[in-house]
């Protein structure tokens, strides 16, 4: 087998991303394009699998292949690893198939020991730099490969700095750094009972094993779970010649995006630090400088931009950025280092971006002819669109501003502040909304960041770890709020104007503007960008399925229309009965022991229902509206506790004892499988008659008012027998005839059913003889197919997922094999008897992109989802056709 592939040292081979990992593939591609990449080699991800399958050992032949690869790097650089006048130093870097920023380990400056540090000093003529690199190496290697926490070194360093009266480590002299290295080594042998390994090859293999091991570190595992990345993929290891951004003030290290990752603007965007190495920029230890002059001005930076400071290196970076973007046809996120004025590229990958930026970039790239329209449509993750519907703080709001930072991830949120990831996780468990406040975040904070509604850091830039991760998760985030300070000792957040906030105090952050306000600030919905609207038009052009909405109230219906809903796929009438005084009338109806009693209550409900429907019809302006007849178990409307019973008895003027008897009579063991849905309509046809009358009278009124004919679609829930539907339909038809005669007007309407019980799917061909349409009620269908109550499932679905019994929660993402099979059967059998049968889906799955793709496969006529998911569904339905 071939375990190792070289790059930048005269090697040509096919670039297989799955084996080389994203980083290795990017390095190989850049080298092939002739870009300045320090040469190196990649140990493929297959070795990672071998490593874990074989008690953390390496496959045969690997040592030899690595040695060969190293020899090529030595030849290309004219340096020798571990000895000689010009020592070769290496970085050992992880890199899996998809990028997991900051989740795994990297070791820099490998190959330094007590001898090579001296040759490095001679070779570069910079002893300070050589000792500083050695210091960094001992610290990093001990942490990553030997498991000794960096913190002990940091403490020692801080101590030494204050003894010497230095503000920053850049002030340390070569001699002082040499002393620190001695102390570091001493500290290490005390803590670990061994000496720091001097043999460069021992260092190298220790580092390789450490990088493979970091694949299963707690934070990497957490990230993979969050992003559904399979463990089997493993990571590759990249071993690369070092270049030095910390070789004096002509050197620098930085990160750049080919376009702005927050706004999508087509302009190079980046940050860098002079005389710095590796993670210094992303770790947010020093607040970095802007790469471009425009960026510096926009962010109000005081220190010069790279464009001004090192114009030649900058110009080369800009050219390379443009080439890489063309090569990959996507916005790139690049890491670079400048060593004594010479630019080196260290990484390139597709850049993470905020949802709004993603839309703008895709549309711009299509306009520029870089990608096709279909590609642009495919570029956007539909699930992120609702991020763009996120609110911002009202611009005119003049509350107490306590800080400002960089707009790292859009959205305005209010929450109580917490200072640690653990507190954020605990708060989430108690359903409290919190903002995680940190000086800077580290990869360990990832779980805390998911638990928080927002993230605020006082240091770090737009490319800091916090910013990247938050954007990826769609969590609002403000970074680098330099006018705020976190006092971790007393747990206080100091804001401008001397404001002091403690854990539990409320703040509002706005990740689109960078504003931080005290308390809860009022927010507003953003205007949808022109790019967003255009994307929607393109999506609408190619999609086949219609997108409707689940709306129970006029407000829902209006919101959904704004988002482009093409009708109502599900109006749950029972929601209309919970409001205001209606619940009394509803209770009176349910508690009535005779038909007359029920009819009396229904007569009072009728005008209210009619008004509701009329409002919906006029908002929907002739678009289809599917109204479901009363569905839920009646006990949902009834009092439960003793005191509720007393209140209801008082309100209805009923005898308490009589009420209790009636409640006992209505008691059900399993209401979800009890007297609900069409079973109610069969027991109490007068309920159906009232609802049908309300619907038809509203249709008449709306048609007269707007001049547009509404076609109500009346939906009978929980049908499993055709006879059930026949019975209910007869009642509906009778009422329809009555109303039409009264009004002297014809109203077109459809009667259909939900397919939400397995029997209905099995007998779909019979049911379709009566039913003009099917609506796949996948919430109940999932529940009844699995025999798993959806209210109780959360108690054990998590365990199922953890133990690998199921991958996805079937209530969120459709179970294709089981529930999906029933859907397919229902569609096929239904169409057998009624070729023009209209079929849609109205469960939660109607807004889930993966499920929508499945629905396209069944050639459904429409999907229906909650109003805020309508844009997501429009895009997902378009993608499903491409
Ligand atoms: P991550 O996957 O966390 O981004 P990397 O492997 O990219 O980790 O390494 C982190 C940083 O280390 C890089 O951004 C770069 O600044 C520095 N680095 C890596 N390899 C080299 C190298 N060969 N020379 C100089 N710096 C390097
Ligand atoms: Mg990197
Ligand atoms: Mg149902």
Q: Across residues 532-554, what is the average pLDDT?
A: 94
Which letter does DSSP use for residue 872 in this model? H
User: Is residue 116 within 6 Å of ligand 1 at its C-beta?
Assistant: no
Of the listed ligands, the closest to the CA of 781 is: 3
- Residues of each annotated binding site: 572, 628, 756, 777-780
**Cα 334 from Cα 347, distance rounded (Å):** 5
Asked about 465 being catalytic, the answer comes back as yes
Q: For residue 42, what are the contacts with CB-CB under 8 A and spacing of at least 6? A: 4, 5, 6, 7, 20, 21, 24, 27, 28, 95, 236, 237, 238, 239
Distance 93 CA to ligand 1 centre (A): 7
CB-ligand 1 contact for 820 (6 Å cutoff): no
Measure 718 CA to ligand 3 centroid, in angstroms. 6
Q: Establish whether residue 99 lines the binding site of ligand 1, counting it when its CB lies within 6 angstroms of any ligand atom.
A: no
| Structure confidence at residue 556 as a pLDDT band (50, 70, 90) | confident
How far apart are the C-alpha atoms of 609 and 690, rounded to whole Å? Answer: 9
111 lines ligand 1 (CB under 6 A): no
Relative to the CA of 277, which ligand 1 atom is closest? Answer: 16
pTM for the full predicted model: 0.81
End-to-end CA distance of the chain: 38
Which atom of ligand 1 sits closest to the CA of residue 255?
14
Decide whether any atom of ligand 1 lies within 6 Å of the 105 Cβ. Answer: no
pLDDT of residue 233: 94
- Token pair of 763 as six digits: 């007998």
| Secondary structure (3-state) at 750 | strand
Hey, CA dihedral for 446, 450, 451, 457, is it positive or negative? positive
Q: Whose CA is nearest to atom 12 of ligand 1?
A: 278
Decide: residue 242, CB within 10 A, 0-12 exposed, 13-18 middle, 19+ buried: buried
Ligand 2 mean position, distance from CA 594 (Å): 74
100-123 burial: b if 16+ Cβ within 10 Å, else e: bbbbbbbbbbbbbbeebbebbbee
d(CA 583, CA 529): 42
* pLDDT attached to residue 169: 81
pLDDT tens-digit readout, 351-383: 989 888 999 999 999 999 999 999 999 999 998
- DSSP of 529-572, one letter per residue? PHHHHHHHHHHHHH--SEEEEE-SSHHHHHHHHHTT--SEEEEE
Give bridge partners of residue 753 from the DSSP assignment: 716, 774
Q: Give the lowest-confidence range in 318-332, 547-561, 716-730.
A: 547-561
Q: Which of 842, 845, 855, 865 is catalytic?
A: 842
- Residues 34-47: tens digit of each pLDDT: 999 999 999 999 99
Kindly report the CATH number that applies to the domain delimited by 1-113+200-242: 3.30.1490.20
**Is domain 390-524 given the CATH code 3.40.50.720 in the classification?**
no
pLDDT at residue 748, rounded to an integer: 93
**What's CA 677's distance to the chain center, in Å?**
36
Confidence of residue 95 (pLDDT cuts 50, 70, 90): very high
- Which helix (H) or strand (E) segment holds residue 326: the answer is helix 311-328
Average pLDDT over residues 707-734: 95
Range name among 23-32, 294-303, 535-544 with the lowest pLDDT average: 294-303
- Any atom of ligand 1 within 6 Å of the Cβ of 107: no
Q: Predicted confidence band at 580 (pLDDT cuts at 50, 70, 90)?
A: low
Distance from Cα 77 to the centre of ligand 2, integer Å: 22
Grade residue 62 by pLDDT with cuts at 50, 70 and 90. Answer: very high
276 closest CA partner among 253, 255, 256, 307: 253
Q: How confident is the model at residue 150 (pLDDT cuts 50, 70, 90)?
A: confident
106 CB under 6 A from ligand 1? Answer: yes
Measured CA to CA, the distance from residue 471 to residue 452 in angstroms comes to 13
Q: Report whether pLDDT(576) > 90.
A: no
State residue 267 phi and psi, 5-degree precision.
Answer: -155, 140
Instruction: Report the CATH number of the 543-633+668-879 domain.
Output: 3.20.20.60
Listed residue (71, 19, 12) closest to 48, CA to CA: 19
Count H helices and E strands in the chain, helices first: 34, 33
Instruction: Say which CATH topology domain 252-310+325-353 has.
Output: D-amino Acid Aminotransferase; Chain A, domain 1 (3.30.470)
How would residue 638 be classed by pLDDT, with cut points 50, 70 and 90? confident
What was the pLDDT predicted at 278? 81
Under the banding of pLDDT at 50, 70 and 90, the label for residue 102 is confident
Whole-angstrom Cα Rg for the chain: 33
Catalytic status, residue 855: no
pLDDT value of residue 282 = 67
Q: What confidence score (pLDDT) does residue 540 get?
A: 97
For ligand 1, atom 9, the nearest C-alpha belongs to: 106
| Residue of minimum CA distance from atom 16 in ligand 1 | 278
- Per-chain mean pLDDT for the chain: 92
Nearest CA to ligand 1 atom 11: 278
- Please check the confidence at residue 791 and state whether its pLDDT lies above 80: no
pLDDT for position 92: 97
Residue 394 — pLDDT band, cuts 50, 70, 90?
A: confident
Check if 1-113+200-242 and 125-198 are the same fold: no
Q: What's the gap in Å between 755 CA and the centre of ligand 3?
A: 9
Catalytic position from the list 390, 465, 494, 845? 465
Tell me the average pLDDT across 48-65: 96
Length of the chain: 882
pLDDT for the residue numbered 285: 65
Q: Give 125-198's CATH code, choosing from 3.20.20.70, 1.20.80.30, 3.90.550.10, 3.40.190.10.
A: 1.20.80.30
Confidence of residue 622 (pLDDT cuts 50, 70, 90): confident
Question: For the segment 261-281, what is each residue's pLDDT rounded down to a tens digit?
Answer: 988 999 999 999 999 998 777
Residue-wise pLDDT for 208-261, tens only, equals 999 999 999 988 888 887 778 899 999 999 999 999 999 999 999 999 999 999
- Of the candidates 531, 534, 577, which has an alpha carbon nearest to the alpha carbon of residue 552? 577
Q: Given CA atoms 641, 647, 648, 654 in this order, what sign does their dihedral have? A: positive
Does the beta carbon of 254 lie inside 6 Å of ligand 1?
Answer: no
Closest-CA residue, ligand 1 atom 20, reads 91
Q: Using H for helix, E for strand and C for coil, what is the string for 443-476? A: HHHHHHHHHCCEEEECCCCCCCHHHHHHHHHCCC
Pocket test for ligand 1, best of 38, 97, 335, 345 (most atoms within 8 A of CB): 335
Displacement of CA 15 from its chain's centroid (Å): 29
pLDDT given at position 139: 93
> Strand, coil or helix: what is 47?
helix
Domain ranges of the chain: 1-113+200-242, 125-198, 252-310+325-353, 390-524, 543-633+668-879
Inter-axis angle of helices 722-743 and 685-706, nearest 10: 40
pLDDT of residue 553: 83
Contact 251, 340 (CB under 8 A): yes
Annotated binding site for Mg(2+): 756, 780
**Does the pLDDT value for residue 648 go beyond 60?**
yes
Rounded distance, CA 780 to CA 768, Å? 19
Bridge-based pairing of strands 235-241 and 90-96 is antiparallel
Give yes or no for a contact between 97 and 22, defined as CB atoms under 8 angstroms apart: yes
Q: Evaluate whether 358 touches 259 at the Cβ level (below 8 Å).
A: no
Q: Is the CB of 443 under 6 A from ligand 1?
A: no
Q: What is the pLDDT of residues 426-482, one digit of tens each?
A: 998 898 999 999 998 877 787 888 899 999 999 877 777 788 778 767 789 999 898
In the numeric block, the tokens 């591609």 are attached to 29
Q: What DSSP letter does each residue of 762-790 carry, written as one string?
A: HTHHHHTTT-SEEEE-HHHHHHHHHT--T
- The 10 Å Cβ neighbour count of residue 59 is 16
Determine the distance separating the centroid of ligand 1 and the alpha carbon of 300, expressed in angstroms.
28
* Percent of all residues in the chain with a pLDDT value above 90, rounded to a whole number: 70
Classify the C-alpha dihedral 675-680-682-683 as positive or negative.
positive
Query: Residue 452 phi/psi, 5° resolution?
Result: -85, 155
Label residue 498 left, alpha or beta by phi (over 0 means left) and psi (-120 to 50 means alpha).
left
Q: To which residue do tokens 């999906």 refer?
A: 820
Tell me how far apart the alpha carbons of residues 91 and 487 are, in angstroms, rounded to a whole number: 35
Chain-centre distance of CA 878, in angstroms?
A: 21
Least confident stretch, 284-288, 563-567, 675-679, 735-739: 284-288
The 10s digit of each residue's pLDDT in 308-318 is 999 999 999 99
- C-alpha torsion sign, points 140, 142, 145, 147: negative
Q: 41 by DSSP, 3-state: which?
A: strand
């Amino acid at each position: 087998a071939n375990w190792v592939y070289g790059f930048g040292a005269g090697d040509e081979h096919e670039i297989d991303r799955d084996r080389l990992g994203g980083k290795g593939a990017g390095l190989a591609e850049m080298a092939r394009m002739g870009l300045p990449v320090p040469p190196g080699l990649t140990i493929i991800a297959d070795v990672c699998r071998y490593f874990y399958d074989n008690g953390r050992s390496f496959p045969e032949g690997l040592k030899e292949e690595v040695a060969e690869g190293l020899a090529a790097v030595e030849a290309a650089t004219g340096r020798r690893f571990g000895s000689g006048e010009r020592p070769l130093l290496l970085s050992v870097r992880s890199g899996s198939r998809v990028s997991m920023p900051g989740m795994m380990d990297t070791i820099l400056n490998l190959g330094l020991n007590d001898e090579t540090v001296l040759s490095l000093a001679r070779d570069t003529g910079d002893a300070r730099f050589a000792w500083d690199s050695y210091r960094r190496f001992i610290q990093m290697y001990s942490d990553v490969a030997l498991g000794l926490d960096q913190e002990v070194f940091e403490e020692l360093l801080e101590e030494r700095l204050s003894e010497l009266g230095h503000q920053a480590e850049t002030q340390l002299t070569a001699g002082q750094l040499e002393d620190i290295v001695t102390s570091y080594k001493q500290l290490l042998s005390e803590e670990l009972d061994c000496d720091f390994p001097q043999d460069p090859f021992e260092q190298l293999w220790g580092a390789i094993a450490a990088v493979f091991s970091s694949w299963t570190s707690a934070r990497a595992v957490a990230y993979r779970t969050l992003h559904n990345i399979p463990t089997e993929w493993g990571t590759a290891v990249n071993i690369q010649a070092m270049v030095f951004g910390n070789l004096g003030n002509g050197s620098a290290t930085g990160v750049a995006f080919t376009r702005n990752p927050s706004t999508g603007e087509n302009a190079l965007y980046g940050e860098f630090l002079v005389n710095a190495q590796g993670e210094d920029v992303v770790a947010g230890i020093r607040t970095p400088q802007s790469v471009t002059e425009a960026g510096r001005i926009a962010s109000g930076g005081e220190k010069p931009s790279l464009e001004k400071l090192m114009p030649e290196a900058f110009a080369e970076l800009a050219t390379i950025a443009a080439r890489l973007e063309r090569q990959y046809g996507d916005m790139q996120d690049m890491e670079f280092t400048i060593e004594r004025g010479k630019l080196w590229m260290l990484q390139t990958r597709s850049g993470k971006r905020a949802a709004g930026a993603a839309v703008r970039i895709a549309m711009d790239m299509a306009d520029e002819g870089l990608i096709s329209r279909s590609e642009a449509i495919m570029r956007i993750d539909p699930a992120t669109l609702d991020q763009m519907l996120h609110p911002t703080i009202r611009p005119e709001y003049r509350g107490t501003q306590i800080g400002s930072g960089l707009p790292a991830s859009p959205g305005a949120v209010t929450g109580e502040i917490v200072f640690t990831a653990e507190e954020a996780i605990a708060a989430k468990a108690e359903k409290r909304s919190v903002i995680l406040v940190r000086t800077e975040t580290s990869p360990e904070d990832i779980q805390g960041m998911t638990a928080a509604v927002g993230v605020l850091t006082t240091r770090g830039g737009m490319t800091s770890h916090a910013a990247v991760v938050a954007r990826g998760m769609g969590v609002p985030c403000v970074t680098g709020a330099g006018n705020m300070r976190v006092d971790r000792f007393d747990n206080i957040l100091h804001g401008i104007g001397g404001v002091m906030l403690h854990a539990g105090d409320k703040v509002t952050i706005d990740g689109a503007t960078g504003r931080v306000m005290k308390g809860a600030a009022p927010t507003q919905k953003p205007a949808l960008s022109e790019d967003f609207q255009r994307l929607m038009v393109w999506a609408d052009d190619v999609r086949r399925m219609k997108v409707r909405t689940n709306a129970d109230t006029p407000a829902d219906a209006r919101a959904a229309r704004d988002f482009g809903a093409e009708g109502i796929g599900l109006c749950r009438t029972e929601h209309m009965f919970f409001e205001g005084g209606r619940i009394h009338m509803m209770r009176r109806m349910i508690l009535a022991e005779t038909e007359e009693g029920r009819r009396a209550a229904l007569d009072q409900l009728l005008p209210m229902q009619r008004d509701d429907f009329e409002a919906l019809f006029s908002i929907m302006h002739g678009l289809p509206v599917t109204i479901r007849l009363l569905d839920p178990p009646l006990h949902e409307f009834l009092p439960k506790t003793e005191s509720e019973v007393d209140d209801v008895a008082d309100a209805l003027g009923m005898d308490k004892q009589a009420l209790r008897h009636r409640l006992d009579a209505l008691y059900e063991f399993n209401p979800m499988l009890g007297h609900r849905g069409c079973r109610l309509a069969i027991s109490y046809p007068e309920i159906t008659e009232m609802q049908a009358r309300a619907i038809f009278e509203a249709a008449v009124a709306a048609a007269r008012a707007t001049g547009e004919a509404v076609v109500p679609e009346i939906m009978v829930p929980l049908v499993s027998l055709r006879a059930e539907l026949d019975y209910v339909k007869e009642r509906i038809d009778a009422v329809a005839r009555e109303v039409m005669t009264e009004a002297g007007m014809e109203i077109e309407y459809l009667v259909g059913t939900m397919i939400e019980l397995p029997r209905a799917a099995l007998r779909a061909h019979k049911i379709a003889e009566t039913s003009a349409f099917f609506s796949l009620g996948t919430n109940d269908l999932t529940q009844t197919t699995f025999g798993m109550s959806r209210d109780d499932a959360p108690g054990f679905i998590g365990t199922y997922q953890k133990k690998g019994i199921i991958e996805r929660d079937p209530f969120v993402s459709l179970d294709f094999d089981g529930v999906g099979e029933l859907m397919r059967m229902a569609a096929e059998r239904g169409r057998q008897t009624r070729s023009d049968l209209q079929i849609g889906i109205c469960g939660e799955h109607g807004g889930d992109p993966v499920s929508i793709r499945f629905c396209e496969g069944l050639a459904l006529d429409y999907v229906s989802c909650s109003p805020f998911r309508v844009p997501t569904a429009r895009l997902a339905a378009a993608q499903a056709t491409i």
